[in-house]
Structure 1
Amino acid sequence: MNSTPQHDDEAAARAANSPLVRDFGLLIKSATRLEQRIDSALRRECGISHTMLEVLIRLCRRPGEEIPQRQLADDLTLTSSGTTRLIDRMEEAGLVRRVPSPEDRRVALVEPTGKGRTVFLGAAAVHARVVEEFFVRPLAADDYARLTAALGTIDRVLREETG
């Protein structure tokens, strides 16, 4: 089949305007805008980024447990060098400290400091407020429950496919 420039233009326009492209774009735009709101509020009110909060969440989940820096990189989907720079900034700010692993001194474990836990508690409240305002409150309770259930299903399928 020979294609013409006009036919290619029309086919490209149909593909670019498909419901799947539109719906996925809406998901990404909404998530990005919400993340920007959270990040802006955290920087303004707590002096940390959303990514720093994500590190503190992981470090504060299990008190007394240090997490390998490599695991943080995997959890946050950051490169090793990006994670190193992030932990360097957090360490300079007094939020975390690195300690050598007792099993393998080449492995850096990361733990929150007292200041890090205090900053985390304030940041968690800011995060909750922004999420409530822009993610929870705009939806009816049933719609919110369906949305979170659907997102959980998508996440499970994606983890199963890659695991």
Structure 2
Amino acid sequence: MSTHPPQLSPTELAAYFAFTEVSSLLRHAVEQQLREVGKLSYVQFQLLARLGDAPGGSQRMTDLADGVVYSRSGLTYQAQSLEERGLVTRAPSPEDERSTIVAITAEGRAVLQKVFPGHIEAVRDLLIDPLAEEDVEVLARVMTQVSEHLRANPPRSAGRRKPKAE
């Protein structure tokens, strides 16, 4: 009995290559805009944006790492860089001193306000505008479905931390 390696159909392969190309081109353009306008890396922008949307403007470092799908050690470095610029603060959690709470500062919010218009313009111009409204709805549904599938068995940096038993 011969075993054949797994294969992708021509349509599946085309979808995969189109996805990787779009992802790379879009990320490059967005990163360039973030660097030019806010002197931010993509990960730093994600951190600030998540903190800006979080209740009270703060989150535990592990929750941020899970949300941005970044290693905890790499995220510590990025948060330190943002803290040195005065865009975030870091402090031990009042509930668990082993956890670190990261909070966005007024300066961090100002940088977000500065980069958001160009960020939104780049995303709209490069990703949204070429599509019909119903295609955007399909894209959102499909990417959400794939994201949920990937998060069901994620790498450690992308996994949600389970609460410790008390």
The TM-score with structure 1 as length reference comes to 0.82
AA matched with 2:52: C
Question: Quick one: distance in 2 between partners of 1:63 and 1:144?
Answer: 28
Greater Rg, structure 1 or structure 2?
Answer: 1
Aligned residue in 2 for 1:154: 146
Aligned residue in 1 for 2:85: 93
Cα deviations by residue, 1:86-129 (Å, 9 ceiling, x for unpaired): 11111111111102111122211000011001101122222111
* Alpha-carbon shift at residue 154 of structure 1 (Å): 2.7
* 1:118-137 to 2 correspondences below 5 Å: 118-137=110-129
* Alpha-carbon shift at residue 66 of structure 1 (Å): 2.1
* Alpha-carbon shift at residue 148 of structure 1 (Å): 1.8
Higher relative contact order structure (alpha carbons within 8 Å, sequence separation ≥ 6)? 2
The question of 1:29 aligning with 2:25 is answered no
The TM-score with structure 2 as length reference comes to 0.81
Identity of aligned residues (%): 27
Q: What RMSD, in angstroms, separates the aligned Cα atoms of the two structures?
A: 2.6
* Alpha-carbon shift at residue 63 of structure 1 (Å): 4.2
* Alpha-carbon shift at residue 30 of structure 1 (Å): 0.5
Question: Quick one: distance in 2 between partners of 1:157 and 1:79?
Answer: 20
The question of 1:20 aligning with 2:12 is answered yes
Contact residue 86 and residue 107 of structure 2 kept, 8 A? yes
Aligned residue in 2 for 1:105: 97
Question: Quick one: distance in 2 between partners of 1:151 and 1:79?
Answer: 22
AA matched with 2:104: P
Question: Quick one: distance in 2 between partners of 1:156 and 1:81?
Answer: 24
Question: Quick one: distance in 2 between partners of 1:54 and 1:83?
Answer: 11
Structure 1 unaligned spans of 5+: 3-10
Aligned residue in 2 for 1:59: 51
* Alpha-carbon shift at residue 37 of structure 1 (Å): 0.5
Aligned residue in 2 for 1:40: 32
Of Structure 1 and Structure 2, the greater helix share is in 1
